[in-house]
Structure 1
Amino acid sequence: MEHLETRQKITIMIAVMASLLFAALNQTIVGTVMPRIVSDLGGIQYFNWVFTIFMLTASVTTVLVGKLSDIYGRKIFILTGLALFMIGSFLCGTAQTMIQLIIWRGLQGFGGGMVMATAFTAVGDLFSPRERGRWQGLMGAVFGLASVLGPTLGGYIVDHFDWHWVFWIFLPVGLIAFYLILRLFPQTPRGEKNRIDYTGSIFLVLTIVPLLLAFTWAGDRYTWTSWQILSMIAVSAFSLAAFIWVEKHAENPVMPLHLFKNSIFTLSNVINFLIGVAMFGATMYAPFYIQGVKGISAAESGVIMMAMTLGMVLASSIVGSLVTKTGKYKKLALGGLLVMGAGMVLLSMLTIETSILLTTIYLIIVGLGLGTAFPIFNLTVQNAVSHRYLGVSTSAIQLFRQMGGTIGVSIMGTIMISRMDAKIAATPAPPELANNPAAQTLANINPQVLLSPDQLAAIRSQLPAGMEAVFDQVLLMLREAMNAGISSVFIVGGAVITLAFLCTFFLREIPLRTSNEEPPQEDTGNENQTSDDEQASHRPTEKAGAHH
């Protein structure tokens, strides 16, 4: 596909980015409208499953489709993914109960996983590694754009229309993308149609799903040492051992283990995992500071967080062009991680007196660093493996980043709550609360109430006369405790990015290939075949012989 005319490749990429935008917008818009959906459908006890089921189905589909698309080509999977996502989106808008919404969100996840897996891989089909930098940057910018538009548009729809339109409004974008992909995207099978590794696929699913569920529920629904969490981790560990054994003996493994002998592939995925931890930590817990500690409304919080996203979009676009122009990427990756780490350290220094302007500047710094590093490690993996492994290697990148985010958010949440509780326990309560039955409501108040202005107003309205000043002291104590917890989260995020920075020092920078037909300089190839490096090493001799 890299030999297509430039105009056709650009048109295909517009269709691919439209597909990605369609999927990403539907992910980012849901969080804003969930309170309204819960009030309409009920079933608040199943609230988290609306997000969890999408994450699980998308993660599993992404890694499985990566391998299948290497065999059967990308077109069938991106079209199937778009179709499933559109059907799921339409059905989500028709949901009458929370259970129905969860089922249709699972269907959306299957489609979204296919779209995500094939969209980033399509860049590798259309362009050589040297050319991919620009397009990888633009793909990252699409995610940033969705993060900006989704919550803003979702809030507007909820305020002026019915919530069902959140799932329907982008269907025309999906239909246009489907038509363009159908007409323009060539069908190009990538490999021999060997027997599908069903056993390996099953054990891979049994490794991923319990692990993600364990880290999603640990510290929230169940304690870390509960039998539910420990049993899920045990099932995941057993399945991983079985998966490794199966893959070593499989004729056509779903995840070729020999790829992990490639130091660039392995190290890039480790760095991606660490970036996922810090990235999701920043995006999940910065709003806690803005809304809980500073008392800013959710709508204004979204605008402030938009600054980080715009910084990411700007940096991603510029860095992508620089990589394509210069062919260099390691120094840019190190610089991006250094900037992101500095931003995380600055965020860890926030206090209840820090201005919103300064907070916004710190978030922009994080966004600039993230936007610089984010697209590069997609490129390093794709550049280091043979083109026949493009789909499975690209899927691995996304899986490691998603798992990093899921695991990181869970661990950081536990750290935040633990630090908050310790801070509250170490802070003496106002003396007015002692031996005052009327003030017991204040003594037992939960810090989570800081995130709900309505609950705060309701508590204040029910206080006895003369207790307002005591209530303000309690709120100050809770805000300081939440600030301490969030600072701990950002310290951990800074440490994780520091580790990613150190790992990047050991990442070998190899020249970006100018053609997909060139063998990568570091590629283990197939264990049972001659490696590309060995084949390449014989080519000069062959050419010399032909010349004589």
Structure 2
Amino acid sequence: MEDIKVQTSRVIDVNDSQVIEKQALDDRLGDAHLNILPTKKIIVCLAALSLGLFASFADQTSITIALPAIAKDLRAETTINWAGTAALLANCVCQVLFGRLADIFGRKNILLFSLGTQAVADIGCAVSRTGVEFYIFRAIAGIGCGGTQSLTMVMLSDICTLKQRGKYQGILGAQVGLANALGPFIMAAFVEHTTWRDFYYMMIPLVISVMVTIYFLIDGKKNASQLNNVLSRKEKFKKIDYLGMFFSTASLTLLLIPISGGGSSYPWNSPLIIGMFVSGGLSFFVFIYIEWKLAELPMIPLRIFASPSLSLILGSNFLYGMAYYGFTYYLPYYLQIVRGLDSIHASIILLPLVLTQSIASIIGGTLISYFGHYKNIILMGYGLWTVSCGLLYIFNTQTNWGVIVVILLVMGVGVGWTFQPTMVAAQSQAKKSDRAIVISARNVLRSFGGSVGISIASMIVSNSLLREIRRESKNEGSILDGYLDYLKDHIYSRVDTSKLNHAQQVVVREMYMKAIKNYFYICLPLIAVCFISTIFVVDRGLQCIDEEPEQKNKDKESDIDTSSNSSRQ
């Protein structure tokens, strides 16, 4: 009996030592990148990182305004929704990987690799001749953009304190808004005056120049040296969670493809759709088990979800990703197909949303740094966003442009006060050494939400429009059957209504309006849930969970000063 106890205690000791060693490796990897810089150097790094962030978001959002033109050029009118889905799917998958890979191989190296991947993808997009080719290169671009977006946030967390981060995160958020404004605008100019391909030709030298700027302005030698002291080059490749990478990629891909194609490309009860859902679900549970039990350095450690507040923050990121990306993807369809605007004028209407988001992000970040708390800002952001989503219900074929602008202004403030502030909130609910993992988890859930959001939006819009076409085909004399067949083959294109009379044009626009509005209906409950869940988040202030509150630190310092003075007396 005593032998059994001794053996049991030894097993426990071995397991405890392995856990301690694993945690120590996590901490050492995270701490190896920590390098708090003075303000002047932070600004230099921030300028370089902002360029990369601008390039990635401009590339990501510009396509929304050009989808009808690209679909027509590539003869992919019924499948062009895969351009957005493929990019966000790849973005989502790579976000799982980049947080931990940046811990292992260094932030700067992974960032430069991501930008290089984006440049290669832009070359491919520019020369694509078929829809399939374009979707493949958009997926590669999603990998590059996802890495850049993730590493930009991670690198900022390495060089400044969490209290400073609110202000600087707001500046990066402003870059996101600026890119979301200028990207579609520049793309629209190319679509109207030359070709959409020239946009991607323009992006290539821009991304390369950003790479050169980051290479020379950001010094990573000190961090590289510290990282090499933790892991040798051979050990770095051994520590990669290869099984986790495989099953996370498989699960996300197998789940998102049927969500996007179900009901339109394939029936929901088809063996292919059912098989993908089952395989994707099983792969997801295998991934969870690997991260929980097998991986030495898991891509996303499940322990971070032990915090209820962090789980609520990450969950809300998934939901607002669904709402935001789906909305920004289909708002241009409303403007171009239902309201008849060209690409440039549609981009102008988008400006109140994205520019307000940019300004609100700076203001929100500054207020968070000043007051030392984030919860009230996030609540106000979700509150305004919820109101604006409710106002989407009044959209119709003749909504006053002033009303549309006001709704987008309100939404812009709401988005600006949630996107970057939730990043700061998430980091405050985790250990300092876990900042890269938390940022990665937050980004992957937001991107996954965006992928699901666009997939669901595509499903709702396409199925709703097909239902309207079937209903209209029973109405004899309204619209010719030949034109209804044309609509079926051009669901995602800017359809030609020049051969229809005024009454028939109104019917076609109403059909598209009903289809798009059916998606708008789900935005309100998604953001309302985000608002409600944030109420239950515990605002710990601007320090990580392994840091003492600032007031306690001040009290300790004053106690030390008092004791030292009394000892002198």
- 1:510–1:521: 8 Å Cα contact kept in structure 2? no
Displacement after TM superposition at 1:50 (Å)? 4.2
Where does 1:29-48 land on structure 2 (aligned, <5 Å)?
29-33=62-66, 47-48=80-81
Q: C-alpha displacement at 1:205, in angstroms?
A: 1.4
CA root-mean-square deviation: 3.4
Residue 93 of structure 1 contacts residue 168 of structure 1 at CA under 8 Å; is this kept in 2? yes
Is 1:212 matched with 2:245?
Answer: no
- CA displacement 1:143-194 (0-9 Å, x = unmatched): 2211211122122234444544322323343233222322232332587436
Distance 1:206 1:450 in 2: 29
Report 1:95-244 matches (<5 A). 95=128, 100-161=133-194, 163-187=196-220, 188=223, 192-193=230-231, 195-244=239-288
Percent identity, please: 26
Q: Which amino acid aligns with 2:116?
A: A
Distance across 1 between alignment mates of 2:67 and 2:473: 37
Distance (whole Å) between structure 2 residues aligned to residue 407 and residue 37 of structure 1: 22
1:12 aligned residue: 45
- Return the letter of the residue paired with 1:8: K
Given that residues 63 and 117 in structure 1 are in contact (C-alpha distance below 8 angstroms), is that contact kept between their aligned partners in structure 2?
no
TM-score, with structure 1 as normaliser: 0.83
Find the aligned partners of 2:477 and 2:75 in 1 and give their Cα distance: 40
Kept after mapping to 1: 8 A contact 2:378/2:421: yes
**Does residue 71 in structure 1 map to residue 104 in structure 2?**
yes
Point out where structure 2 has 5 or more consecutive residues left out of the alignment: 1-33
Query: What is the CA-CA distance between 1:78 and the residue it aligns to?
Result: 0.8
Cα deviation, 1:77-126, whole Å, max 9, x if unaligned, reads: 11221222223323443456655544444443332232122111111111
TM-score between the two structures when normalised by the length of structure 2: 0.80
Secondary structure of the residue aligned to 1:186 is coil
- Structure 1 residue identity aligned to 2:363: I
Q: Letter of the aligned partner of 1:22 in structure 2?
A: A
Pairing 1:488–2:518 present: yes
Matches within 5 A, 1:311-390: 311-390=356-435
Residues 8 and 491 (structure 1), Cα distance of their counterparts in 2 relative to 1, 3 Å cut: same
Bigger CA drift: 317-326 or 90-99?
90-99
Task: Name which of structure 1's ranges 274-283 and 183-192 shifts more when overlaid on structure 2.
Answer: 183-192
Give the counterpart letter for 2:319 in structure 1.
L
Separation in structure 2 between the aligned mates of residue 88 and residue 422 of structure 1, nearest angstrom: 37
Report the counterpart of residue 277 of structure 1 in structure 2: 322
Cα offset for 1:34?
5.3
- Which whole-Å CA distance do the structure 1 matches of 2:342 and 2:206 have between them? 31
SS at match of 1:224: coil
Distance 1:167 1:446, change over 3 A: closer
Structure 1 residues 99 and 338: CA distance shift in structure 2, 3 A = closer
Deviation at 1:46, TM superposition (A): 6.5
Q: Distance in 1 between matches of 2:282 and 2:96?
A: 19
Structure 1 unaligned blocks of 5 or more: 461-467, 523-535
Match of 1:504 in 2: 534
Paired position in structure 2 for 1:254 = 299
Alignment-derived partner of residue 406 in structure 1:
451
Distance 2:443 2:187 in 1: 26
Instruction: Give distance in 2, aligned partners of 1:487 and 1:148.
Output: 23
- AA of the residue aligned to 1:344: C
What amino acid maps onto 1:396 in structure 2? A
Structure 1 residue 398: deviation in Å?
1.1
* Equivalent position SS for 1:375: helix
Q: In structure 1, what is the Cα distance between the partners aligned to 2:76 and 2:481?
A: 31
- Please report how far the alpha carbon of residue 370 of structure 1 lies from its aligned counterpart in structure 2 after TM superposition: 1.1
Alpha-carbon distance in structure 1 between the residues aligned to 2:123 and 2:471: 51
- The residue that corresponds to 1:519 in the other structure is 546
Deviation string, structure 1 residues 335-382 (Cα, Å, up to 9, x no partner): 111111100111112233421221121122112111111111111111
* Aligned positions, number: 513
| C-alpha displacement of 1:499 | 0.8
- 2:497 counterpart residue number: 456
Counterpart code for 2:529: L
CA 352–92 in structure 1, closer or farther in 2 if over 3 Å, else same: closer
Change beyond 3 A, Cα 1:269–1:224: farther
Cα distance in 1 for partners of 2:65, 2:335 equals 16
**Mapped contact 1:348–1:486 kept (Cα < 8 A):** no
**Matched residues in 1 for 2:290 and 2:477: separation?**
66
Task: Give the partner amino acid of 2:546.
Answer: P
3-state secondary structure, aligned to 1:29: helix
Q: In 2, distance between residues paired with 1:200 and 1:66?
A: 13
Q: Which moved more, 1:408-417 or 1:375-384?
A: 408-417
**How many Å apart are 1:42 and its aligned residue?**
5.6
Tell me which amino acid in the other structure corresponds to 2:406.
I
Q: Is the contact made by 2:36 and 2:161 (CA closer than 8 Å) also made in structure 1?
A: no
1:304-354 deviations in whole A, cap 9, x for unaligned? 122211221121121111111111211111111111110011111223342
The one-letter amino acid of 1:511's match is G
**Deviation by residue 1:377-430 (Cα, 9 ceiling, x = unmatched):** 111111221222221211111111111122123334444456667778889987
Contact 1:82 1:178 in 2 (8 A): yes
2:497 alignment partner AA: L
The 2-side partners of 1:428 and 1:92 are apart by 38
Q: Please state whether the residue corresponding to 2:539 is helix, strand or coil.
A: coil
Residues 41 and 289 of structure 1: CA distance in aligned 2, closer, same or farther (over 3 Å): closer
- Is the CA contact 1:17–1:139 (under 8 Å) kept in the aligned structure 2? yes
Shift of 1:64: 0.5
Selected match of 1:245 from 276, 289, 304: 289
- Looking at structure 2, the residues matched to 342 and 353 of structure 1 have their Cα atoms a distance apart, in angstroms, of 21
1:54 partner amino acid: A
Moved more, 46-55 or 127-136: 46-55
